[in-house]
Structure formats: structure tokens, C-alpha cells
Structure 1
Amino acid sequence: MPKYLIQATYTHEGTQGLLKEGASGRRAAVEQVVTGLGGRVESMYFAFGEHDVVIIVDFPDPISMAAVSLTVKASGALHTRATPLLTLDEIDEAARRQVAFRAPGA
């Protein structure tokens, strides 16, 4: 199952909601969304700095991740970034594939 790193920053309105329902309430909401699409939340952490929350999730396909991303962004409560995560085996397989590429100006 594809794995993603989600980094999110709350907007003013999103922070107000977090203060109202707490971190455990947000974890429950994330779990409901992810499991509802056949995925799994591996871990979820709140953080200081540029991002307020960091989540690692598994989804059955990239379309599920895209659906969640679009819906969350449309809410206006969070700014998010989803990064696909690859296993060591996947990178080894990618390294073995031949790619016809010419660098600019070469």
C-alpha cells in the first residue's frame, strides 16, 4: 500500500478548532477519514515550527490520497503537503531501470 508523509499547518480557523476539540479529537477525525478510504494511520505527531502536525499514512492508491488532500485543502482549515514515501526496495528497483535521458545542453 502506498505510504505518504503529510505535513500540515493550521490556519487561524483550524487552530481555533484544534483548541476547541483537542488533539485526540483531531486524531479521531484523521483516523475516520483514512480508514474510511481503506487506509491506515501509522503515526501522527503535533510539532512546533513550520508544520503543526505530521502524519504518516498508508492508502490503497494515490487517488485516495488526492481525494483527501483536495477535501482538506478545500476546508480552508489547513495548508497541507503530501509526500510519497518509497521503501528501500522500491528505490533499488528504480535504480535498476534504464532511463533514456539527455541533460540540457549535453
Structure 2
Amino acid sequence: MSKYLFKSRLTPDGMKGLLSEGAKARREAVGRMVEDLGGRVEAMYWAFGDEDVYVTAELPGNTSAAAMGMVVSSVGGVRTTTVVLLSADEIDEAVRQEVHYRPPGG
């Protein structure tokens, strides 16, 4: 399974929903959504700053992560950014790959 970090900024409607339902209910809704996609939520945190919510999750792949981000953002309660997280093993595998690249003007 692949790991992702979803960074979300609540819209005014999203904040109203959070105030109405509470954080625990939103955590349960996110957990069900991720599980329905074949994944699991590792952690979900609310925060001060540029982003309001951070979710780390395991999902079957990029298409599941993209589907989740698109659907959640399309409803209008939050705006999401998805970050693909790589393990040390994945980075080591990338380092071992031979890449042929010519820089501009080179």
C-alpha cells in the first residue's frame, strides 16, 4: 500500500460542519471513506496555521488517493492537497535506478 499526507483547509461551510458535528464525527467519516477505498487512516490531526487538518493514510495507490482528494474537494467543505509519502526503501530503490538526462543547453 502507498502512503499519503492529505492537507486540508476548511472553507466557511466546512468550519460550520465541524462546529456542528465535532472533530470525532469527522474523524469517523474520514476513516469510513478511506476504508471503503481499501485503505486505513494512520493519523488525523487538527492544526493552527495554513492548514486546518492533516491526515496520513495508506491507500491502494495513486488513483484511490486522487479519487478521494477530488471528491472531498468537490463537495466544498475543504480544499485538499495530496502529498505522496515515500519510505526509505522506496528512496533507495529510486537512487539505484539509472536515469539518462541532458540538462538544457547541455
| TM-score of the alignment, normalized to the shorter chain, above 0.5 | yes
Matching residue of 1:66? 66
> What is the CA deviation profile of residues 50-90 of structure 1, one whole-angstrom value per residue up to 9, with x for unaligned ones?
00000100001211111111101110111110100000010
Give the CA deviation at 1:20: 0.3
Amino acid across the alignment from 1:89:
D
Q: Runs in 1 of length 4+ with deviation above 6 angstroms?
A: none
**Structure 2: distance between partners of 1:61 and 1:95:** 21
For 1:70 and 1:55, locate their aligned partners in 2 and report how far apart those are by CA, in whole Å: 15
Task: Identify the residue that residue 93 of structure 2 maps to in structure 1.
Answer: 93
- For residues 76 and 104 of structure 1, what CA distance do their matches in structure 2 show? 41
**Unpaired segments ≥5 residues, structure 2:** none
Q: Using the alignment, how far apart are the partners of 2:77 and 2:95 within structure 1?
A: 39
Q: Look up the equivalent residue of 2:33 and give its one-letter code.
A: V
> Would you say how many aligned residue pairs link Structure 1 and Structure 2?
106
- Mapped to 2, the partners of 1:98 and 1:40 lie a distance apart of 33
Matches within 5 A, 1:28-39: 28-39=28-39
Identity over aligned pairs, percent: 47
The aligned amino acid for 1:12 is P
